[in-house]
Amino acid sequence: MSESEGLQGGAGEWGSLRRVAEFKRRLKAGEAMFGGWLSLTDPVAAELMARCGFDFLFIDTEHGAWDLIALQTALMGFNGSPTVPIIRVAWNDHVRIKQALDLGVEGIMAPMVRTVEECKALVRACRYPPVGARGFGPRRASNYYRDLDAYVAAANDAIFVMPQIEDIATLDVIDEFLAVPGIDAVALGPNDLSGTTGHFRQHAHPANAGAVDKVLAHAKAAGIPACLGVNSKAAELPGWLAKGVKLLLVTADLELLAAGSAEALRNGRKAIA
Return the active site residues.
63
| Alpha-helical segments (H) within 126-250 | 148-158, 174-178, 190-195, 206-222, 237-242
pLDDT reading at 134 higher than 70 = yes
Q: How far apart are CA 214 and CA 218, in angstroms?
A: 6
- Terminal alpha carbon distance of the chain: 58
Rg (CA), the chain: 19
Give the mean model confidence (pLDDT) for residues 141-160.
96
Residue ranges of domains in the chain: 3-272
What is the model's pTM? 0.93
Q: For position 1, what pLDDT does the model report?
A: 26
Q: How far apart are CA 201 and CA 194, in angstroms?
A: 6
pLDDT band at 47 (very low <50, low <70, confident <90, very high): very high
What CATH number belongs to 3-272? 3.20.20.60
